[in-house]
Amino acid sequence: MEPCPTAQVGKTSLIMALVGEEFPEEVPPRAEEITIPADVTPEKVPTHIVDYSEMEQTEEELQEEITKANVVCMVYDVTAESSIDKIRTKWIPMVNGGAEKGSRIPIILVGNKSDLQTGSSMETILPIMNQFSEIETCVECSAKNLKNISELFYYAQKAVLHPTAPLYDPEDKQLRPACARALTRIFNMSDQDNNQILSDEELNYFQKSCFGNPLAPQALEDVKMVVWKNTTDGVQENGLTLNGFLFLNTLFIQRGRHETTWTILRRFGYDDALELTDDYLCPLIRVPHDCSTELNHFGYQFLQKIFEKHDKDRDGALSPAELQSCFSVFPYMPWGPELHHTVCTTDTGLLSLHGFLCQWTLMAYLDVHRCLEHLGYLGYPIFSEQDSQVHAITVTREKRTDLEKGQTHRNVFLCKVLGSAGAGKSAFLQAFLGRNLADQKKSPGRQTVFTINTAQVNGQEKYLIEMEAEAEFTKVSDASCDVACLLYDVTDNKSFNYCASIYKQHYMDSQIPCVFVATKSDLPQTSPLRGLSPAEFCYKHRLPPPLHFTCNVHGVPSSAIYAKLATAATFPHLNDIDLGAASFWIRVALGATVAAVVGVTLYKAVAKNK
């Protein structure tokens, strides 16, 4: 804080009267710099006060101090018009002459020596206040009588903590665009039934969230009455509209109650520049190595409410317009057209609740920081009454521990789908969403490397993320996943050899379960020219036998293969020829034995006839 103008107006006396709580009989040209502790100030923040003396200091020294100041108190003598005129002609241009509108240092005008004048200087001051928007307020006081001394410094603190400039344009007498946008976003989030009106219940939730207590019924009616009398459409259906909400905040500011609007903005995560803070959008979350992140039931409950809020026609799906409404509280549209190739949609191509939750699950797993940011935009901490969005996330234990214990509590698993070009990887991913080959040809669109859906594992629903991966891994961690799905084309021998090479190079010595899948199984299968067949290769390496798959079917492709992938991911410790696979190889062995016995018998019969 920097009290700066003209000599003999009493600025040093004001500082000494504040500190000593009495009028000083002897006043030095300049008071020493002092810091008022936080615990003795109304706003509970420390305040550093720097005096200025024209007699002892140069204007260059003053300019240097001004650059450090958060607020400047300009003191004038209410009995001397020349000191008032100097504020307009010299001091304000010196403080903010080169600053852009909106970034100027707030100014408090202080009329001292009010004990020497019966009237008020406000008529003279008002034109100056109207001319310079950075002037927060004017306080008339008396160092001699200790009148309004503490109020002066309270308003100085308030000008810093609850500045007017970012909120309100006094020249146009309206909210600044950034403030109006922030308050509009807050209104839209608080409108929990999405009917463009804040009901009494919604207003009370908002009031309690921001200020700690709901409004008394009569106070609530009084607020609506003020809005109703001053606007044409501020109150509808006995609730507050957006225009009514904006008017109410404008009124608070015009009446000097900036702290009310600032309390609302800061509760919803805004800083002094009306940007959402990093602390709000990106709360700290610790994810140890080899752990993953998932939405928990609190997160899913919140997201289901968001979905239901914006499903205005109650058809169980979000149309493009409804999805746009859902994300209207974001600074950008977070999901692009690839969404419809990533999750399940309805028969008409709309986003179902299942698809909506799948997309959030995918984001929580792949990029938890982005997920936290998006939950912040939706207002999770406010409407879940939690400190941060981290409350919606579960960090799983290390996979190594799961393997040691032979069980896992995880619900989301990553499957990397690998194979040569033309093996059908993209088709395999889309089939996971229930789309056969004909459906895929109808909606070519922009493909994605991810799909996500649920699969049944021993009667429980698990999320399985499928990722179409490149086999040219640059580091060992690139191959990491919960299950590797190696796709080969049954019509192309080279296709299997490619998968066998990937397995040997990246997975043979790992604990990652691997499943070989023979695609295009509706077409004639070619026999290997040399070496092991796919079935023999899997048997040699103690892998489950290859699974056959095609999406060239009528209706929905079979989901059984995806359930097996999810099961392999859930129980990686059982991957070495499990019971199902073992029974397969037993059947193969028994078949070979029978064939050998029959062959020997036939040979003996033929030999005897000779």
- Integer distance in angstroms from the first to the last C-alpha of the chain? 119
Q: What percent of the chain is modeled with pLDDT above 90? A: 57
Is the model's pLDDT at 552 over the cut of 80? Answer: yes
- Whether the per-residue pLDDT at 263 is higher than 90: the answer is yes
Confidence bin at 207 (pLDDT 50/70/90): very high
**What span, in angstroms and rounded, lies between the C-alpha atoms of 479 and 466?**
14
584 or 39, higher pLDDT: 39
- d(CA 173, CA 312) in angstroms, rounded, equals 36
Mean pLDDT within 553-578: 85
How much is the average pLDDT of 485-499?
94
DSSP secondary structure string for all residues of 188-241: HHH-TT-SSSB-HHHHHHHHHHHHSSPPPHHHHHHHHHHHHHH-SSSEETTEE-
Structure tokens at 549: 């798959």
What percent of the chain clears pLDDT 70, i.e. is strictly above it? 91
Q: How confident is the model at residue 303 (pLDDT cuts 50, 70, 90)?
A: very high
Question: Which has the higher per-residue pLDDT, 52 or 339?
Answer: 339
Average pLDDT over residues 293-298: 98
Q: What pLDDT does residue 2 have? A: 53
Task: For residue 63, give the H/E element and its range.
Answer: helix 59-68
Question: With 0-12 CB in 10 A as exposed, 13-18 as middle and 19+ as buried, what is 36?
Answer: middle
> Rounded mean pLDDT of 271-284?
95
**Mean pLDDT across 38-55:** 78
Label residue 609 by pLDDT band (50, 70, 90): very low
Helix 353-366 to helix 297-310 angle (10° resolution) is 140
- Res 171 pLDDT > 60: yes
Q: Kind and range of the H or E element at 418?
A: strand 412-419
Per-residue pLDDT of 114-126, as tens digits, reads 888 877 888 888 8
Q: Range with the lowest mean pLDDT among 4-13, 241-250, 286-295?
A: 4-13
How far apart CA 350 and CA 551 sit, in angstroms, is: 22
For position 344, what pLDDT does the model report? 95
Whether the pLDDT of residue 448 is over 60: the answer is yes
Highest mean pLDDT (candidates 47-51, 275-279, 596-600) = 275-279
What does the pLDDT read at residue 4?
A: 53
Q: Give the contacts of 455 (CB within 8 A, at least 6 positions apart).
A: 461, 462, 464, 559, 562, 563, 565, 566
- Give the CB-side neighbour count of residue 608, counting CA atoms within 13 A: 6
Question: pLDDT (tens digit, 9 = 90+) per residue, 17-30?
Answer: 887 888 887 788 78
Give the mean pLDDT of 543-549. Answer: 95
pTM of the model: 0.83
Q: Predicted confidence band at 562 (pLDDT cuts at 50, 70, 90)?
A: very high
Beta carbons of 451 and 341 less than 8 angstroms apart:
yes
pLDDT at 587 over 80: no
What is the band of 264 on the pLDDT scale with cuts at 50, 70, 90?
Answer: very high
Q: What is the mean pLDDT of residues 194-200?
A: 96
According to the model, what pLDDT value does residue 582 have? Answer: 39
Model confidence over 355-372: pLDDT tens digits? 999 999 999 999 999 999
**Per-residue pLDDT at 596 exceeds 70:** no
Query: Is the Cβ–Cβ distance between 248 and 210 less than 8 Å?
Result: no
Tell me the pLDDT of the chain averaged across its residues.
87
Instruction: Specify which residues 110 forms β-bridges with.
Output: 75, 139
Q: How confident is the model at residue 174, as a pLDDT?
A: 93
Please say if the pLDDT value at position 8 is more than 80.
no
Q: Out of 42-56, 150-164, 234-248, 571-585, pick the least confident.
A: 571-585
DSSP 429-448: HHHTTT--HHHHHH------
The confidence score (pLDDT) of residue 599 equals 44
Q: How far is CA 542 from the centre of its chain?
A: 45
Taking CA 358 as the corner, what is the angle to CA 355 and CA 361, rounded to the nearest 5 degrees? Answer: 155
Q: What is the mean pLDDT of residues 267-279?
A: 95
pLDDT band at 460 (very low <50, low <70, confident <90, very high): very high
Helix runs in 102-176, H state only: 122-131, 149-161
Instruction: Kindly state the average pLDDT of the residues 321-334.
Output: 96
- pLDDT average, residue stretch 30-52: 80
pLDDT tens-place string over residues 208-218: 999 999 999 99
Mean pLDDT comparison of 53-57, 155-159, 183-187, highest-scoring range: 183-187
The dihedral through the CA atoms of 466, 471, 475, 479 has a sign that is positive
